[in-house]
Chains A and B, each alone.
Chain A
């Protein structure tokens, strides 16, 4: 949208004002995210730039808040950093535990949401699917219904959703349930809650990929003698894989960032990074949170890059030109 040569001064002025406005809005979008990165290296326990930081004095910067992530909850933080120190940090440090919990919960929630969501999306994108619109509306609704309502409902229901430890279900799932055999205060409870929240993203991305999918390829495969399993893994899967992976990444990020459901249904054993951050911001806010924030920004940048790459690959595979 270059400025045409015949533009009059008023149009010229408007053109540059418009560009300036756009730059300011982009700044509004991105500056808050960028600002946490230098602040996390602050040597002082403040949330603002010190004079030394502004003059780029190396003394104004330090890694102490990253160090604090390892020492908080460490049984012997001051001892020499040998193998036992690192082992203790891995086993005991509060933030490390939270990271591990977040990772495992996110992984299982993603596997659950992606598997169920992809299979369902295959059904939903068939032209014969009955009640398509209604079912779509239902499956997207976890994204629309306020998370607080979902969390309240789950906190009521999961406290009652219990199995006897000596029953078949208890023996099968007991390891993932709470001590009383309930979904509340259990890892499984948090995992299924996060899986539900991730499902809309999987459904949306996979059905979008499938919208350009040529259904006659399935018939072609079948007419050539492929059974449904081979058709799925050799024909459908390679074509929709980019969509499935970006759906999975969305689901993982949703789980990795989710705090409300965790606050309502999780017990002390399910401390996750967002929950730790939420409590940290509410109680004693320390720049250690900025260090975590910086790490999360790096992770989300990496995830965004992968999703963009996948989308382009998917567009290429489906023959969509342009973007």
Chain B
């Protein structure tokens, strides 16, 4: 009886099992491909990811008070459940000691700024307290309260207790329009909700701009997709030229067109449509922001729509017509559904870009046309760094969500220009 043949493994010429050799070759190829990307990944890590991570860290971290008031921090640690409405004498003693120290080390500003985030108006209180701290005598509670009754405010003590921790979610609370009151954190009154209101407004305006862009882009993209190649290439230049022109040039152009003494108003007055004293205000308000941003973002809608429409076979529409559909039904039931990928791609891209827009609102928005990015810049200008970082963190979360959606629905490798 013949013995069963030993299981035959395929081997390469040098005798290694083929499977192992293939695996090794594959992982080598993987490593090689990855090595090519590595330098860029390292560069992006260093100049993009780390700065943004650092910003997010700043939105949770502030040691301005914790570092400059060690006595009070120590007292808070030992008495976590003190009554903020009536802090005892030791707490005031620690506070006066720290105030004197701040005056010596010139850290009053930093400490006051930190408390100022949650309890507005405290910087001047701290400055005054620190100046006088040396001369105060026991009992410190009475003498400090005699200096300024504000020192007894429960909200202030809550704020100081919270600021004695280096890491805090306080800045996000402020960015969500919460207020530190004598009874703890509470939602602000309706007319004080500036941040959430501006977020809401930004999303609303971006949605409006997206819709306007879609309405303007659709006919143009359709025309470009159905014209003969030579003609459409020529017209395409009219779309691509704005795309390539400096944003500041386009903003300047809109100012010259839309301002009160601008070309559009001159034209309207010249035609007698409006009186010289009834010139329209189309600049330095929301109208200016919307018009200029629509112009800037329109190519981002036209290009994806065009690339989808170009490959829709015209025979489908002809077939629908020959089967008796009216032109409106043909458009609604046959053509429009086929353009949906382009509509999704363009709309999401325009919306994402609009939500984060800064320059155009800053230059033509006036007081009324500002968006959330401008508020971040404004907080940076006023050195409210932690708050700016927190608002930026919230905006980033919203954008990443939209980006993820874009990748799921459209796929980032579909992004193209021209």
Contacts and interface: CB of A to CB of B under 8 A. Distances in A.
Interface of A: 1, 11, 14, 18-19, 21-22, 25-26, 28-33, 35-36, 39, 46-49, 112, 116-117, 119-120, 122-124, 126, 128-130, 133, 135-142, 144-150, 152-158, 160, 192-193, 195-196, 199, 201, 204-205, 207-208, 250, 253, 256-257, 259-260, 264, 274, 277-278, 281-282, 285, 289-290, 293, 296-297, 300-301, 303-304, 307-308, 311, 322-323
A289 B327 CA distance: 49
B37 A129 contact: yes
Given A117-B40, A157-B54, A278-B359, A30 B244 contact: no
B22 interface: no
A77 B417 CA distance: 44
Nearest to B227: A1
A152 B245 contact: no
Interface residues of B, number: 90
A204 B233 CA distance: 21
Contact of A150 (B34, B48, B242, B418): B48
What's the dominant secondary structure at chain A's contact region?
helix
B216 A25 contact: yes
Contacts of A285: 255
B44 interface: yes
B312 interface: no
A48 B262 contact: yes
Most buried by B among A148, A256, A289: A148
Given A32-B250, A296-B249, 19 more contacts: A32-B253, A32-B295, A33-B241, A48-B263, A123-B32, A126-B29, A135-B41, A137-B407, A145-B356, A146-B395, A153-B54, A155-B380, A156-B51, A158-B51, A196-B44, A199-B44, A205-B417, A257-B246, A281-B252
6 contacts: A29-B295, A36-B256, A153-B52, A158-B51, A195-B47, A311-B418
Interface string B86-130: 000000000000000000000000000000000000000000000
B55 A153 contact: yes
Contacts of B54: 153, 156-157, 160
Contacts of B271: none
A153 B58 CA distance: 9
B220 A33 contact: no
A31 B298 CA distance: 14
Q: Which of A133, A156, A253 has the most CB of B within 10 A?
A: A156
Contacts of B416: 204, 208
A150 B52 contact: yes
B253 A18 contact: no
Given A48-B256, A154-B51, A157-B50, A29 B33 contact: no
Interface residues of chain B: helix, strand, loop or mixed (majority): helix
Nearest to A11: B327
A195 B239 CA distance: 26
Given A26-B235, A153-B52, A193-B47, A33 B26 contact: no
Contacts, number: 269
Contact of B385 (A31, A156, A205): A156
A207 B416 CA distance: 10
A138 B36 CA distance: 16
A11 B328 CA distance: 11
Contact of A135 (B37, B250, B299, B395): B37
Nearest to B413: A136
Interface in B35-70: 35-37, 39-41, 43-44, 47-55, 58
A33 B58 contact: no
Given A29-B238, A257-B247, A259-B248, A137 B256 contact: no
Contact of B241 (A30, A289, A311): A30
B257 interface: yes
Which of B44, B362, B385 is most buried by chain A, counting CB atoms within 10 A of its CB? B44
A130 B36 CA distance: 12
Contact of A156 (B55, B247, B295, B359): B55
B323 to A, nearest CB: 16
Contacts of B49: 138
Contacts of B208: none
B216 A28 contact: yes
Contacts of A116: 39-40, 43
A138 B53 CA distance: 14
B184 interface: no
A293 B223 contact: no
Contacts of A201: 417
Nearest to A249: B244
B51 A323 contact: no
Closest 6 A-B residue pairs measured CB to CB?
Answer: A146-B356, A123-B36, A153-B51, A32-B253, A153-B55, A157-B51
A117 B44 CA distance: 11
B26 to A, nearest CB: 7
Most chain B Cβ neighbours within 10 Å, of A35, A49, A152: A152
B36 A119 contact: yes
Contacts of B220: 22, 25-26
A212 to B, nearest CB: 13
Nearest to B58: A156
Contacts of A282: 362-363
Nearest to A274: B248
A119 B295 contact: no
B373 interface: yes
Nearest to B251: A281
A39 B246 contact: no
A137 B403 contact: yes
A120 B40 contact: yes
Contacts of B327: 11, 14
Nearest to B352: A144
Contacts of A119: 36-37, 39-40
